[in-house]
Amino acid sequence: MPSSALDRLKTLVEGARSAVAFTGAGISADSGIPTYRGNDGLWTKYDPAKYADINYFRRDPEYYWRFFQEVRYHVLSRAQPNEGHLALSTMEQRGKLTALITQNIDGLHQRAGSQRVIELHGNSRRFPCVDCGTVDTLEEVFARLDVEFPPCCTSCGGSLRPGVVFFGEMLPPGAMEESTEAASACDLFLAIGSSLVVTPASSLPVIAKEHGARLVLINNEPTALDGMADLVMREGASEVLSAMRLAQ
């Protein structure tokens, strides 16, 4: 990675009064969690247009639960936070990061120690009952699949669903408002590992920029917003963030 870009990043972070980070699937790629466009054989056997879509889930819930049993559970239960997650947690501890907004559903930011995490798309480690709201854990639900498929709520026998925002659903109440407020108030916005094509989340870097923040994009491929950024680092997220962390 060019040292001039890293130096510029460090200068921007050091000079920031209030930074906000916004993360996507790319930050968790080094933790072994494929992005939707990943090439992993088993993962691609299942189609996100089916396992991540609310209408499909209502029509054929077994498809989701097979995907969960065969793939997602194993990926999630093995995944550990990487240097990228840890660097953002350190930034928060140092008082540099006022909010961490994520599109990810893997819970790895919290596991890395980040306290203020706004999850725009929910969390795939939680399973609320659609009837009574009781929440089951990843391990409980996985264990139950051997005896009951699809699994039901242990309190009321109702239907369980993953605590994620499916395609075709609204974002959790307040999440976008809280994110917009954080993006409007910050003076540095770091967008990390996101293709910036999923709306409305991809509007957040634009909002930050319109309110005068510096915009840094860290992504290993071009993004939709490269043209408006103050700094574009086309690198691996954990590589850049760990280099930044060592300098903190």
- List residues with catalytic annotation: 121
Q: Report the site for ligand NAD in 88-127 (rule: CB under 6 A).
A: 103-106, 121
- 190 touches ligand NAD (CB under 6 A): no
Dist. CA 73–CA 80, nearest whole Å: 13
Q: Which helix (H) or strand (E) holds 238?
A: helix 237-246
Q: Report the site for Zn ion in 112-151 (rule: CB under 5 A).
A: 129, 131-132, 134
Opening angle at CA 92, ends 195 and 104, nearest 5: 30
- 232 touches ligand NAD (CB under 6 A): no
Binds ligand NAD by CB under 6 A, chosen from 19, 20, 22, 28: 28
Question: What is each CA distance from 63 to 51, 149, 189, in whole angstroms?
Answer: 7, 11, 38
Q: Report the site for ligand NAD in 128-157 (rule: CB under 6 A).
A: none
Q: Binding partner of residue 28 among ligand NAD, Zn ion, none, CB under 5 to 8 Å per kind?
A: ligand NAD
Burial class (CB in 10 A: 0-12, 13-18, 19+), 118: buried
Q: Report the site for ligand NAD in 35-74 (rule: CB under 6 A).
A: 35-37
Helix axes 175-185, 203-210, angle to 10 degrees: 30
Q: Binding partner of residue 221 among Zn ion, ligand NAD, none, CB under 5 to 8 Å per kind?
A: ligand NAD
- Please provide the DSSP assignment of 54-74 as one string: HHHHHH-HHHHHHHIIIIIHH
- 194 touches ligand NAD (CB under 6 A): yes
Q: Which residues bind ligand NAD (CB under 6 A)?
A: 24-26, 28-30, 33, 35-37, 103-106, 121, 193-195, 197-198, 219-221, 236-237
